[in-house]
């Protein structure tokens, strides 16, 4: 069932058009990066413009400006598509209890892949081996589909992002894990047409205290964000708690990749930014399903995309960590659809 959550009033539509024209007229920034998550392009110029709108204190204008920066399914490369998006704002689906039940199944399967692969994450294993174990488990045991495989040309069934790799690392026979590495394994399965998307960090052998700290603080960022999710909360509240906790610890939040709506497609609206201002952005409603997947860097937030078109690394070469869950907004709070058996999520 599709419910048009946003916008609700025609008069806001006029504001969207005016602001779109304003922003579109002044340019659309650089070309989009390819990524599994939705991507945003926040050039300095746009950030300044966005800040001005935020300072105006009207949350709807803030949403408008953010929407103009959006790159739904990261295909936006033309000013026209940006314009179309604002004239016909994107619907956010509210899932029915039956759909949520199916997402619960997909979510549990994704979580179980992480539980299954955990003992294999040891020094000496290649990321290709981890991929092939996960692939076989998803296909043969779970009778499900590994969503990344062939997704927009992605060649493998899971993402493996080691050390300075932020996300979308491609498993490879030549990438052998060694003691001291930190690795994110990102699993997405499709079961009965529904997606479950989750990732976690693993420590390979003994790991330096500063790397452990980054991994732990990043998980705390995810947990704090999950804890604010309930009907009436806003997307900006999620970004705000993540950014506050990361920066308090002298880390930075990756800007160009974000969480996303999820259901019968891998990436849907809304985009879930991991930075932002409390009290801004879309209001959450029961039945929304989306991921939160903060990517936190030890150094600066800037990213670079490698020549393979997928692997995203920190520009300064320092470590990055990420944790991800798929969530459903419930009547009185949140349900974590991808929680692992032994995982305690402080709510």
Site for Co ion in 261-320 (CB under 5 A): 291
What's the token pair of residue 19? 């602001």
Give the bridge partners for 322, in sequence order: 295
Rounded Cα distance, 70 and 270, in Å: 10
Rounded Cα distance, 343 and 347, in Å: 12
Site for Co ion in 174-193 (CB under 5 A): 186
Nearer to ligand MF3, 50 or 135 (CB): 135
For residue 9, the minimal CB distance to Co ion (Å) is 31
Site for ligand MF3 in 10-69 (CB under 6 A): 36-37
| Residue 11 CB burial class (10 angstroms; 0-12, 13-18, ≥19) | exposed
**Please, how many CA atoms are within 13 Å of residue 124, restricted to the half-sphere of its CB?**
3
Size of the site for ligand MF3 (CB under 6 A): 13
Here's the x/- map for ligand MF3, 273-312, by CB under 6 A: it reads as --------------------x----------------x--
Give the bridge partners for 161, in sequence order: 184
Q: Is 148 in the site for ligand MF3 (CB under 6 A)?
A: yes
Give the bridge partners for 144, in sequence order: none
DSSP of 115-169: HHHGGG--TT-BHHHHHHHHHHIIIIIS--EETTTTGGG--SSSEEEETTEEE-P
Q: Is 271 in the site for ligand MF3 (CB under 6 A)?
A: no
For residue 13, the minimal CB distance to ligand MF3 (Å) is 30
Closest residue to ligand MF3, based on beta-carbon distance:
36
Site for ligand MF3 in 156-215 (CB under 6 A): 159, 168, 186, 188, 197
The interaxial angle of helices 79-87 and 59-69, nearest 10 deg, is: 140
Nearer to Co ion, 243 or 268 (CB): 268
Nearer to Co ion, 313 or 324 (CB): 324
Nearer to Co ion, 85 or 186 (CB): 186
Nearer to ligand MF3, 85 or 324 (CB): 324
Residue 257's contacts (CB-CB under 8 Å, 6 or more residues apart) are 35, 37, 38, 39, 40, 166, 167, 295, 303, 312
Among 137, 154, 223, 251, binds ligand MF3 (CB under 6 A): 154
Site for Co ion in 188-217 (CB under 5 A): 197, 199
The CA-atom distances, in angstroms, between 138 and each of 129, 159, 212, 213, 290 are 14, 14, 29, 31, 22
Q: Which residues bind Co ion (CB under 5 A)?
A: 186, 197, 199, 291, 324
Q: Which residues bind ligand MF3 (CB under 6 A)?
A: 36-37, 148, 151, 154, 159, 168, 186, 188, 197, 293, 310, 324
């Amino acid at each position: 069932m599709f419910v048009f959550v946003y916008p609700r009033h025609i008069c806001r539509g006029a504001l969207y058009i005016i602001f779109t024209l304003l922003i579109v007229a002044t340019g659309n920034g650089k070309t989009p990066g390819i990524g599994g998550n939705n991507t945003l392009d926040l050039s300095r110029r746009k950030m300044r413009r966005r800040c001005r709108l935020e300072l105006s204190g009207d949350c709807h204008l803030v949403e408008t400006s953010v929407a103009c920066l959006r790159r739904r399914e990261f295909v936006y490369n033309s000013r026209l598509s940006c314009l179309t998006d604002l004239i016909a704002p994107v619907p956010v689906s509210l899932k029915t209890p039956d759909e949520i039940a199916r997402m619960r199944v997909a979510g549990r399967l994704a979580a179980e892949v992480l539980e299954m692969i955990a003992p294999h994450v040891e020094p000496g294993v290649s990321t290709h081996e981890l991929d092939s174990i996960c692939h076989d488990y998803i296909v043969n045991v779970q009778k499900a589909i590994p969503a990344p495989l062939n997704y927009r040309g992605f060649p493998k069934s899971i993402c493996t992002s080691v050390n300075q790799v932020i996300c979308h690392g491609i498993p490879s026979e030549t990438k052998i894990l060694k003691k001291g590495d930190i690795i994110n394994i990102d699993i997405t399965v499709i079961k009965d047409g529904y997606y479950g998307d989750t990732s976690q960090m693993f420590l390979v052998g003994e790991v330096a205290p500063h790397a452990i700290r980054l991994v732990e603080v990043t998980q705390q960022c995810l947990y704090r964000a999950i804890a604010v999710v309930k009907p009436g909360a806003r997307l900006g509240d999620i970004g705000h708690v993540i950014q506050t906790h990361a920066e308090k610890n002298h880390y930075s939040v990756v800007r160009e990749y974000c969480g996303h709506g999820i259901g019968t497609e891998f990436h849907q609206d809304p985009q879930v930014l991991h930075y932002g201002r409390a009290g801004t952005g879309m209001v959450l409603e029961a039945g929304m399903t989306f991921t939160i997947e903060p990517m936190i860097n030890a150094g600066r937030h800037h990213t670079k995309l490698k020549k393979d078109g997928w692997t995203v690394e920190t520009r300064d070469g320092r470590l990055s960590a990420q944790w991800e869950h798929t969530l459903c907004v419930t009547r009185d709070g949140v349900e974590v659809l991808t929680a692992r058996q032994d995982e305690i999520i402080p709510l």
